[in-house]
Structure 1
Amino acid sequence: GDMADKVEKTFKFVIVGGGIAGVTCVEQLSSQIPSAEVALITAGPHIKAVTNYKQVSKMLEEFDVEERPASVLEEKFPNLTVIHSAVKSLHTQSHSVETADGRIFGYEKLCICSGGRPKLLTQENPYVLGIRDTDSAQEFQKRLSKAKRIVVVGNGGIALELVYEVEGCEVIWAVKDKAIGNTFFDAGAAQFLIPSLEAEKPERAAPCKRPRYTTEEPAAGASHTFTAGLHLSLLLFSVEYQCEVEKIFTSEELLNSQQQTLRPENGSWPVYIQLTNGKTFGCDFIVSATGVVPNAEPFLYGNNFALADDGGLQVDDHMMTSEPDVYAAGDVCTACWEHSPLWQQMRLWTQARQMGWYAGRCMVADILSEPIELDFCFELFSHITKFFNYKVVLLGKFNGQGLGPDHELLVRCTKGQEYVKVVLSGGRMVGAVLIGETDLEETFENLILNQMDLTPYGEELLNPNVDIEDYFD
């Protein structure tokens, strides 16, 4: 056909996207079949590389992410060609990709690793900062240092995590649920993590009650223990529940608008945000922490990709999309195989690396007609990160995701040192949050994987005077 005539070169493997998933996939393919011609199509001059990789336990891995010039990869893999351009269109029928600069490349197997982009509240707005990972953190820190008040929109643990660095900045948090069903935090973790519960203004402080752990949601409008804890520490923290963003406008637009409802408070702020509950707040800037949207658009036109509800490309347990010879990995894809009961997809660095690695393995297995099993990393969700300079380990259904009301929580908290939460279902451990140097990750990982009945141990499981490893090694 027309397309086929203009193909400049055909590669065995073409990968689109120079993020963690794409780069990891390239490394897998190049090291498994060193003779295969591989192309990486990426818009920017830099790629994201995994550095300082450490396997911490069977499931847990730690690594840093660094921007590197793409040439670093080409030097490492002689069979790799980096094509610096965005993708304009994909033609799955003719197995070819057209780049924005008008070139056309053929492929035998393609892997789409185009990532996700922050769900932004509005079109580009200098007062709205999208936060989706710690790499947007520096920019956030910089702007925060001068801010008196910010509004955070979305259940963004990352945004909240960063707020703590700042003294005396007021935070208003708009959440669409009736409670903070936060991805990373629960009431207790928040109380542990937000430092200096000794309020500076004693007359406003209330006794800090140990949060009661319940699995029911508080009634709409009920103040959550979480908020109480935050109020004590920051004295400047409030949550607006069950609301989303109606409108964002500048102080000029505000003055010009004749709406009486929008009278600014004393003093004028650079930006105003109106929420669906009718309240309007002025602030220095707005943090949008509402998750990511898979970057699938450039590939859809003229093709028949099955999409998941979240807009991701559906992939099966071999990371294959619904189009022949097209794989996908990382934030752009949605895992549509039947998940292990202890795993969930969350668009994180760790999963981008695991998916890119596994997609590469699957592509090679397919070329060599070898069978391949779903990788072990998809058995148990595991993630290590840092919050407030504490090590944080998340395992399994760490927030009781999808467990319904029958699960129970055990919590141990040593202020300023560690916070340990265990999620049990039917007497078996199904999830855990470990904050601080707890040294429990391997033991808990094993207890979750082997699904041992822990009923006989009861509360003793978290007794700090009992060396739990002695029981289970």
Structure 2
Amino acid sequence: MQHVIIGGGIAGITAAKAIRLNDPQATIVLISNEKEKPYYRPYYRPLIPLLISGEKNKEDIYLQNDPIKTYGIQIEHGLAALLETDKKRITLSTGKVVAYDKLLIAAGSSPAVPKIPGVQSKGVFTLRTMEDAQAIREFALARKAKQEKKAVVIGGGFVGIKAAIALRKLGLNVQIVERLGQLGYPRLDEVASSIIQKELEENGVIVHLNNIVEEIEDNLSYRQIRISSGDNIEADLIIICVGTKPNVEIFKKAGVDAASGIKVNELLQTNVPDVYAAGDIVEFKDEVIGKPQVSALWTNAQEMGKIAGENMSGGNKKFSAFLSIMNATEVYKLPVISIGLVNLPENEVKSYAGESLHEIFISRSGKFYRKLVFAKDTLVGALLIGNVNNAGLYLNLIKNKILCAHLKSKLALGQINPRLLIV
């Protein structure tokens, strides 16, 4: 039996491990476009930006006990360029053809790149992989040596914020340009955004909200960004952090059903026989929102990979309790955790919870901020800044939809023993 896995992230690696444990004799082929060994890269707690600042090196984030050797995985380097499900084979960008008996699509996502004039200029980067981070660091250090230290991050989400911090720690002058009126939407609300923005500004990062990048002008003598306010920002280095898009196109052409991501059932099977999917290329019903979502969470990808691998090798396990909305990071030394519905527009809150069935509890003191959102008798959102104690408790309550109406005030004040509610 030949199992082929497209994608070398945690979903693909975990699937390979599960297959090997179930079937010691199976042939496992992993197709990856990255030259590096498998590494740790959860996007809800970004580590990749730490390679830019030098706080981490490659050895720090490689997965322990190299899974390629440990589980006897054959590696094929290249992009999957063509999937022929009728012939059960994949053609790679190198021209090589790989046959499969069972196939797992775990090809992940790619950085979204806005259609901005000049976006292909030298010195403009996206940030997704270890290779991206290394290229940014090398470029930044080379420019810094020439006293060219102006950097701009386009996008004020969690990855953009971490990229800005990394560049600042490297000694660059950093500005963030965000098209919305706050940072981190929808993972942060306006209050949380203001706390984060103040922390960034206190550490020398300039933030431009409500601004769209209209053009990147690249001349031989200078590079600058024109934003919608009419200002021009000089930039020796630019990083684009405006989200990701699942790599679904070649699979859709092969007849695999996909919308935002690939559609799967509870066994993580696609509509095509012997073809499974896992990780952040998949859309699955979110337990809180109640609608299909694509999630970049490491924990979801890991669990999906395990279940897909077991099912590919004879199992019959179901994937459930999918929570797509969770982020955890640090803004300098300020911890931030966002879980579930913390900043939905009023119409979306009503569509989920009903006209008057949601309650919000807020506690704030300086940089400390806690916001809990309830729908009927269950917790559906938690936003914590400064003091993130009990985050695991809130996650457990949200993910498992535990009734907790009688505990609302105590939960809001953080006065609950987490061990009493763990299921």
TM range (shorter): 0.7 to 0.9
User: What does residue range 409-428 of structure 1 map to in structure 2 within 5 Å?
Assistant: 409-415=360-366, 418-426=368-376, 428=378
Change in Cα spacing, 1:244 to 1:462, as seen in structure 2 (3 Å) is same
Tell me if the contact between 1:134 and 1:158 (Cα under 8 Å) persists in the aligned partners.
no
Tell me if the contact between 2:336 and 2:386 (Cα under 8 Å) persists in the aligned partners.
yes
User: What does residue range 61-72 of structure 1 map to in structure 2 within 5 Å?
Assistant: 66-67=61-62, 72=66
Q: What secondary structure is seen at the aligned counterpart in 2 of 1:331?
A: coil
Residues 32-52 of structure 1: CA deviation (Å, up to 9, x unaligned): 222222211223343324599
Tell me if the contact between 2:295 and 2:324 (Cα under 8 Å) persists in the aligned partners.
no
Q: Give the AA of the match of 1:403.
A: V
Residues 8-27 of structure 1: CA deviation (Å, up to 9, x unaligned): xxx53111121222112111
Q: Give the AA of the match of 1:251.
A: N
Tell me if the contact between 2:283 and 2:295 (Cα under 8 Å) persists in the aligned partners.
no
Tell me if the contact between 1:133 and 1:158 (Cα under 8 Å) persists in the aligned partners.
no
Change in Cα spacing, 1:81 to 1:456, as seen in structure 2 (3 Å) is closer
Q: Give the AA of the match of 1:426.
A: K
Match for residue 127 of structure 2 among 122, 131, 144:
131
Residue 272 (structure 1) aligns with: 224
Q: Does 1:186 align with 2:132?
A: no
Aligned residues: 385
User: What does residue range 427-446 of structure 1 map to in structure 2 within 5 Å?
Assistant: 428-436=378-386, 438-446=388-396
Residue 82 (structure 2) aligns with: 89
* RMSD of aligned Cα (Å): 3.9
Once residues 128 and 107 of structure 2 are traced to their aligned partners in structure 1, the CA distance between those partners, rounded to angstroms, is 15
Residue 95 of structure 1 and its aligned partner are, at CA, apart by 0.6
Once residues 285 and 430 of structure 1 are traced to their aligned partners in structure 2, the CA distance between those partners, rounded to angstroms, is 40
Once residues 41 and 219 of structure 2 are traced to their aligned partners in structure 1, the CA distance between those partners, rounded to angstroms, is 45
Tell me if the contact between 1:443 and 1:469 (Cα under 8 Å) persists in the aligned partners.
yes
Once residues 320 and 300 of structure 1 are traced to their aligned partners in structure 2, the CA distance between those partners, rounded to angstroms, is 15
Residues 330-356 of structure 1: CA deviation (Å, up to 9, x unaligned): 233333xx4322575332333332322
Residue 320 (structure 2) aligns with: 375
Once residues 109 and 265 of structure 2 are traced to their aligned partners in structure 1, the CA distance between those partners, rounded to angstroms, is 19
Residue 394 of structure 1 and its aligned partner are, at CA, apart by 3.3
User: What does residue range 39-58 of structure 1 map to in structure 2 within 5 Å?
Assistant: 39-50=29-40
Change in Cα spacing, 1:434 to 1:181, as seen in structure 2 (3 Å) is closer
Match for residue 287 of structure 2 among 323, 334, 340:
340
Residue 237 (structure 1) aligns with: 206
Once residues 289 and 47 of structure 1 are traced to their aligned partners in structure 2, the CA distance between those partners, rounded to angstroms, is 24
Once residues 20 and 125 of structure 1 are traced to their aligned partners in structure 2, the CA distance between those partners, rounded to angstroms, is 32
Residue 451 of structure 1 and its aligned partner are, at CA, apart by 3.4
Residue 164 of structure 1 and its aligned partner are, at CA, apart by 4.3
Change in Cα spacing, 1:179 to 1:102, as seen in structure 2 (3 Å) is closer
Q: Does 1:249 align with 2:217?
A: yes
Match for residue 403 of structure 1 among 349, 360, 380:
349
Once residues 77 and 471 of structure 1 are traced to their aligned partners in structure 2, the CA distance between those partners, rounded to angstroms, is 39
Q: What secondary structure is seen at the aligned counterpart in 2 of 1:352?
A: helix
Q: What secondary structure is seen at the aligned counterpart in 2 of 1:46?
A: coil
- Higher CA-based Rg: 1
Residue 92 of structure 1 and its aligned partner are, at CA, apart by 0.6
Tell me if the contact between 1:157 and 1:182 (Cα under 8 Å) persists in the aligned partners.
no
Unaligned runs of 5+ in 1: 1-10, 53-63, 197-229, 253-267
Change in Cα spacing, 1:411 to 1:22, as seen in structure 2 (3 Å) is same
User: Which region of structure 1 is more displaced relative to structure 2, 277-286 or 141-150?
Assistant: 141-150
Residue 77 of structure 1 and its aligned partner are, at CA, apart by 2.4
Unaligned runs of 5+ in 2: 43-58
User: What does residue range 166-185 of structure 1 map to in structure 2 within 5 Å?
Assistant: 166=168, 169=173, 171-175=175-179, 177=180, 179-180=182-183, 182-185=185-188
Residues 79-109 of structure 1: CA deviation (Å, up to 9, x unaligned): x322233333221111112233433232111
Residue 250 of structure 1 and its aligned partner are, at CA, apart by 1.1
Q: Does 1:325 align with 2:274?
A: yes
Q: Does 1:291 align with 2:243?
A: yes
Residues 268-315 of structure 1: CA deviation (Å, up to 9, x unaligned): 7x32223456554333333211111222344454x222231x3x3333
Once residues 132 and 332 of structure 2 are traced to their aligned partners in structure 1, the CA distance between those partners, rounded to angstroms, is 16
Q: Taking structure 1 as the reference length, what is the TM-score of the superposition?
A: 0.68
Tell me if the contact between 1:51 and 1:65 (Cα under 8 Å) persists in the aligned partners.
no
Change in Cα spacing, 1:184 to 1:161, as seen in structure 2 (3 Å) is farther
Tell me if the contact between 2:89 and 2:97 (Cα under 8 Å) persists in the aligned partners.
yes
User: Which region of structure 1 is more displaced relative to structure 2, 89-98 or 290-299?
Assistant: 290-299
Tell me if the contact between 2:280 and 2:301 (Cα under 8 Å) persists in the aligned partners.
yes
Tell me if the contact between 1:358 and 1:375 (Cα under 8 Å) persists in the aligned partners.
no
Residue 126 of structure 1 and its aligned partner are, at CA, apart by 2.4
Q: Taking structure 2 as the reference length, what is the TM-score of the superposition?
A: 0.75
Residue 138 of structure 1 and its aligned partner are, at CA, apart by 6.7
Residue 203 (structure 1) aligns with: none
Q: Give the AA of the match of 2:288.
A: P
Residue 306 (structure 1) aligns with: 257
Change in Cα spacing, 1:245 to 1:27, as seen in structure 2 (3 Å) is same
Residue 28 (structure 2) aligns with: 38
User: Which region of structure 1 is more displaced relative to structure 2, 104-113 or 135-144?
Assistant: 135-144
Once residues 402 and 276 of structure 2 are traced to their aligned partners in structure 1, the CA distance between those partners, rounded to angstroms, is 33
Change in Cα spacing, 1:285 to 1:184, as seen in structure 2 (3 Å) is farther
Q: Give the AA of the match of 1:348.
A: L
Once residues 207 and 67 of structure 2 are traced to their aligned partners in structure 1, the CA distance between those partners, rounded to angstroms, is 47
Change in Cα spacing, 1:128 to 1:110, as seen in structure 2 (3 Å) is same
Change in Cα spacing, 1:415 to 1:179, as seen in structure 2 (3 Å) is closer
Runs of 4+ in 1 over 6 A off after TM superposition: 144-147
Q: Give the AA of the match of 2:248.
A: A
Once residues 131 and 160 of structure 2 are traced to their aligned partners in structure 1, the CA distance between those partners, rounded to angstroms, is 12
